[in-house]
Structure 1
Amino acid sequence: MLPIIFAAGTGDFLYFLSCAPSAAQERESKPLQESIAEVERQVDAIEEEAIAAIPSLLAGSSQQLPALGKMLFFDKNLSVNRNEACAFCHMPQTGFQGAIESINLGGVAQPGSVRSRFSLRKPPSTAYAAFSPPLFYADKPGEAKCSHCFIGGNFWDLRATGLRLRSPTAMQAQGSPLNPTEMALRDPACVVHRISQRPYRKIFETVWGPRSFGIAWPSDVETICKEPNNAPATAIGSETPGPNNTPLVVDLRPEDRARVQSTFDQMAEAIAAYEGSPEVSGFSSKFDAFLAGTAQLTDAERRGYELFNGQAKCKDCHVDPPGDRHPLFTDNTTANLGVPRNPDLFFYHETGPDAFGYVSNPQGEAFVDKGVGDFLRSPEAANEAWKALAPHFDGRMRVMTLRNVDKRPRPDFVKAYMHNGYFKSLKAVVHFYNTRDALPRCEGKDPGEGVSCWPAPENPENLSTNCCNLGLSNAQEDDVVAFLGTLSDGYETTMSPLSPSTRPGR
């Protein structure tokens, strides 16, 4: 792959190659700096368009809250170096996931506002995440389809529980601006102060009230907020393990600190409203048109759909309930599929202090991502009784929606899959589901890796057993991939609705 080293504390990029020319090198047509700059330009353009639409928002309209959330979601100024919006890691053209192909091919995690910092996991899609309920543990008979399982929450490890705001998506939105490896602001007050200086301040006050920014700011607030968050334990809602004990470095009176928290919560709720809006979670795929009777599946897609709900066992976790016209294709639980370790993660190499003294990963390559188990051990688990459950959830990650799983800006654009981005194609994912328990083990970089053999799971504990020796042929794997391609939003149809007798039955 393409190991990338950043000159700490600068925007300069130094490349070095550790192996023979790879797919990443062959496919990368522009330097990484240019790819990052292009995403930044796209983010700016979308934010400018959203701000320009403010006069068209009717007073009291239900569209005001998600419109405000969009402006916040695409605002780079809410990061320490004013260069990274939430959208930087969640771009529309990839189904609100990472949009830099060379990073998908290699280190997976997007760079933070301090460009030398990377977090641990691939950015999950924000699309449809707003439909996940606040986290709860189902341990009563009949309470859920599973017993003794966690349901809800956001992020791969459920860290954004949503228990306080009753919205995992809002809780997630509060994490990234403060995370040292992401947007890296030092204090929620820094976020609120930056918002108060933005051109959408008036619409924020229209939605949430004129006192949203009624705060007596100290004279040094901007100086404080220009320094990155270097607290290694800051991680709430993020993809870096650790407790949330962000130091409150802006000196505020108690009443102003209370106002900061309230406005910070309102920011999060606005972003959650945007992520749950039709613009992000649109139910506008070919499959949705198929359910509405305005599109027909190809033969391969139809066969794949039948396999999805049958021999391939996909529906066991990516549920498609009969009669549901808006299936989420997730049961919002967790699973350990036995995904191999991805040795190309940048995170493994962030072992030394950067220019600000921050160390992302002191364990280096010895680090093992235990997913939900590590979250349950942390102070963020919210329920002391959950800590005892941690060993039973080591290696488990949230079951993500399959909606937009194949959405990409061009047909040959490479996305990364699973929490660590080990897989680079849907074909590889389906082949793994099909053959994990049928093919022999091999070491990473073996010539047959991913085709005729698989490396051992990174986490062998708590492996899911409802797969992975499915007996699918190569052609059947392709059919499943074809069906997954129907779940990308933005499908346009010119068909008239089918007659009741020809509409799909489920």
Structure 2
Amino acid sequence: MARNLHPKSLILASVAATPLMIWSAGAGALDSIEALGKNIFFDEKLSIPANKQGCASCHDPTRGWILPDSRINATTVVAPGAKPHALGSIKPPPNAYASFSPPFRPGNFGPFVPPWEGGNFWDGRAEGCGARLGASCPTTPEGAVSETIRLSDLPSGVQAAYGKYLGPTADQALNPFPNDVEQNIREKNVCQQVKTAKYKDLYRQAYGGNIDCSPNPKNNPAYRTSFKLLAVALAAWQASSDVNSFSSKRDKALAADPERKFPLVGFSVQENLGHDLFYGITSTLNPTGKRANCNVCHNGVPQGQPADPTGEAAKQLYTDNRFHNIGVPFNREIPGVAKGIKVGLRAHVESVPPGSFRTSTLRNVTKGLNGGFVKAYTHNGWFKSLASLVHFYNTRDVLPRCKEDLGITDATEKEALQKNCWPAPEFDNPAVGVVGDLGLTDAQEAAIVAYIKTLADEHTPSKP
């Protein structure tokens, strides 16, 4: 039976386009460890050469926590490093809401889904297993894996308070600083820079003492322990409401709705239809129960909360934190990266097929799209608009292949759209049934895009 619009539907048309005037977007005051992490995140002096790159250089809050360079997003995709001519090899993923990803772990998630979930990075290699008492690290010694931070790395006096920050986000934070194509700065140099930074007192307030950058003892230098504590501070801020603010139009409209259920009074008819298509809900707007299957991958809630099949949970994350191969084409515009090189989860777990990448949240994917700013979507940035990505999900297996006899080799998004074709997937055996031939109309595609646009947070952290 279709879910009726209820008497509140009588006022939908009159209020749907009216800005909501409830709860001011923002975050509460930060404590010392969160404030320390925030200062580190924005500090471009933590690179060599100095003043060249900080965490925010690739994860800009004003642009939805991604690379804030429209020209690069529209072409080569990958971020430049601090060192001259250094380039990454994959699109920087967004980092907001990443703190909800569980430690990397096995599971049985059905056909076409590798039996792993969690971690950070596109391949999950920041496992976060230090957050599990008694866990052995690494979980999968087959491929790349990040160093982990354990409870024993924390001063005893703060273990009870800060142990909650250990996990994939803390482990991920260990990696960009020493990476020679990112911030290009050694652990000891990071420690020494923070020791003299304007925010150095925050370290003392958070950890109860001044930062120690000594090279002793040789088997476990003090500067290495201090470096780990800085990573924990980064994780603390990234777990705060300053980053994960749940302040989007969707969040506000849901909280203000009389029933806290869809269709929302604060949404347009198109946005409400987009939600019903996203989750495959039978309703007055979607009487046949048409499914876009978006929720198969982009649906999840924090650990310990009830499942959310209808997308009405207050803290819906819009990711399952699992790994999927959706058939993304090869991006020939990324310099120095040949076809088949970036294999996703396979780089971490060699026993799985190549081509599965961790699902990013849909929160903030349209944040900062003003003034013609271009974003790049999916792990390799092949897609340059949300509309084309939704069209791909809908028609991947319907439109013809972009082939050489059409004068195209490894077509770009622009070339594919001009020829009304899609390139072959970079990796074989992408998921079928879930995407590729959904039978959506142009209006239904547009409704899904409209709904996803409501997931952009209104709160933007200010620079410290």
> Taking structure 2 as the reference length, what is the TM-score of the superposition?
0.74
1:167 aligns with 2:147: no
- Which residue identity is paired with 1:66? E
1:253 aligns with 2:216: yes
Shift of 1:346: 2.4
1:330 aligns with 2:319: yes
Q: What are the residue-to-residue correspondences of 1:146-295 with 2, within 5 Å?
A: 149-164=115-130, 165=149, 166-185=166-185, 187-213=186-212, 215-216=213-214, 252-254=215-217, 257-293=220-256
Which structure is higher in RCO with an 8 Å CA cutoff and minimum separation 6? Answer: 2
Q: 1:299 aligns with which of 233, 245, 269?
A: 269
Shift of 1:342: 0.8
The structure-2 alpha-carbon separation of the partners of 1:272 and 1:462, relative to structure 1 and needing over 3 Å to count, comes to same
- Give unmatched runs, 5+ long, in structure 1: 1-56, 217-251, 349-364, 378-388, 493-506
Contact 1:138 1:147 in 2 (8 A): no
The structure-2 alpha-carbon separation of the partners of 1:366 and 1:421, relative to structure 1 and needing over 3 Å to count, comes to closer
The structure-2 alpha-carbon separation of the partners of 1:366 and 1:455, relative to structure 1 and needing over 3 Å to count, comes to closer
1:485 aligns with 2:447: no
In 1, the alpha carbon distance for the partners of 2:432 and 2:58 equals 29
Alignment-derived partner of residue 342 in structure 2? 369
Contact 2:249 2:456 in 1 (8 A): yes
Alignment-derived partner of residue 98 in structure 2? 129
Contact 1:374 1:390 in 2 (8 A): no
Q: Could you tell which deviates more after superposition, 201-210 or 80-89?
A: 201-210
The structure-2 alpha-carbon separation of the partners of 1:145 and 1:133, relative to structure 1 and needing over 3 Å to count, comes to farther
In 2, the alpha carbon distance for the partners of 1:121 and 1:146 equals 23
1:458 aligns with 2:457: no
1:309 aligns with 2:279: yes
Report SS of the residue matched to 1:487.
coil
> How many percent of aligned residue pairs carry the same amino acid?
37
Alignment-derived partner of residue 319 in structure 1? 299
In 1, the alpha carbon distance for the partners of 2:432 and 2:242 equals 34
In 2, the alpha carbon distance for the partners of 1:488 and 1:454 equals 28
Report SS of the residue matched to 1:279.
coil
Contact 2:64 2:368 in 1 (8 A): yes
Alignment-derived partner of residue 390 in structure 1? 352
Alignment-derived partner of residue 63 in structure 2? 94
- Which residue identity is paired with 2:268? T
Q: What are the residue-to-residue correspondences of 1:427-442 with 2, within 5 Å?
A: 427-442=387-402
Q: 1:422 aligns with which of 382, 387, 394?
A: 382
In 1, the alpha carbon distance for the partners of 2:459 and 2:81 equals 32
In 2, the alpha carbon distance for the partners of 1:491 and 1:366 equals 39
- Which residue identity is paired with 1:371? G
1:194-218 CA-partner distances (Å, limit 9, x unpaired): 21121211211121121531x44xx
**Higher helix content, 1 or 2:** 1
In 2, the alpha carbon distance for the partners of 1:144 and 1:435 equals 23
In 2, the alpha carbon distance for the partners of 1:264 and 1:420 equals 30
In 2, the alpha carbon distance for the partners of 1:296 and 1:144 equals 36
Matched positions, count: 364
The structure-2 alpha-carbon separation of the partners of 1:366 and 1:286, relative to structure 1 and needing over 3 Å to count, comes to closer
Contact 2:126 2:172 in 1 (8 A): yes
Report SS of the residue matched to 1:434.
helix
> Taking structure 1 as the reference length, what is the TM-score of the superposition?
0.68
Contact 1:336 1:464 in 2 (8 A): no
CA RMSD of aligned residues (A): 2.4
The structure-2 alpha-carbon separation of the partners of 1:484 and 1:135, relative to structure 1 and needing over 3 Å to count, comes to same
Contact 2:34 2:240 in 1 (8 A): yes
Report SS of the residue matched to 1:265.
helix
Report SS of the residue matched to 1:341.
coil
Contact 1:118 1:347 in 2 (8 A): no
In 2, the alpha carbon distance for the partners of 1:182 and 1:448 equals 31
The structure-2 alpha-carbon separation of the partners of 1:317 and 1:64, relative to structure 1 and needing over 3 Å to count, comes to same
In 1, the alpha carbon distance for the partners of 2:459 and 2:210 equals 42
Report SS of the residue matched to 1:390.
coil
The structure-2 alpha-carbon separation of the partners of 1:203 and 1:109, relative to structure 1 and needing over 3 Å to count, comes to same
In 2, the alpha carbon distance for the partners of 1:475 and 1:306 equals 13
Report SS of the residue matched to 1:376.
coil
The structure-2 alpha-carbon separation of the partners of 1:267 and 1:298, relative to structure 1 and needing over 3 Å to count, comes to same
Q: 2:332 aligns with which of 321, 339, 343?
A: 343
Q: What are the residue-to-residue correspondences of 1:106-117 with 2, within 5 Å?
A: 106-117=75-86
The structure-2 alpha-carbon separation of the partners of 1:267 and 1:448, relative to structure 1 and needing over 3 Å to count, comes to closer
Detail structure 1 runs of 4+ shifted over 6 Å in the superposition: 143-147
Alignment-derived partner of residue 162 in structure 2? none
Alignment-derived partner of residue 71 in structure 1? 39
In 1, the alpha carbon distance for the partners of 2:455 and 2:447 equals 14
Report SS of the residue matched to 2:241.
coil
Shift of 1:318: 0.7
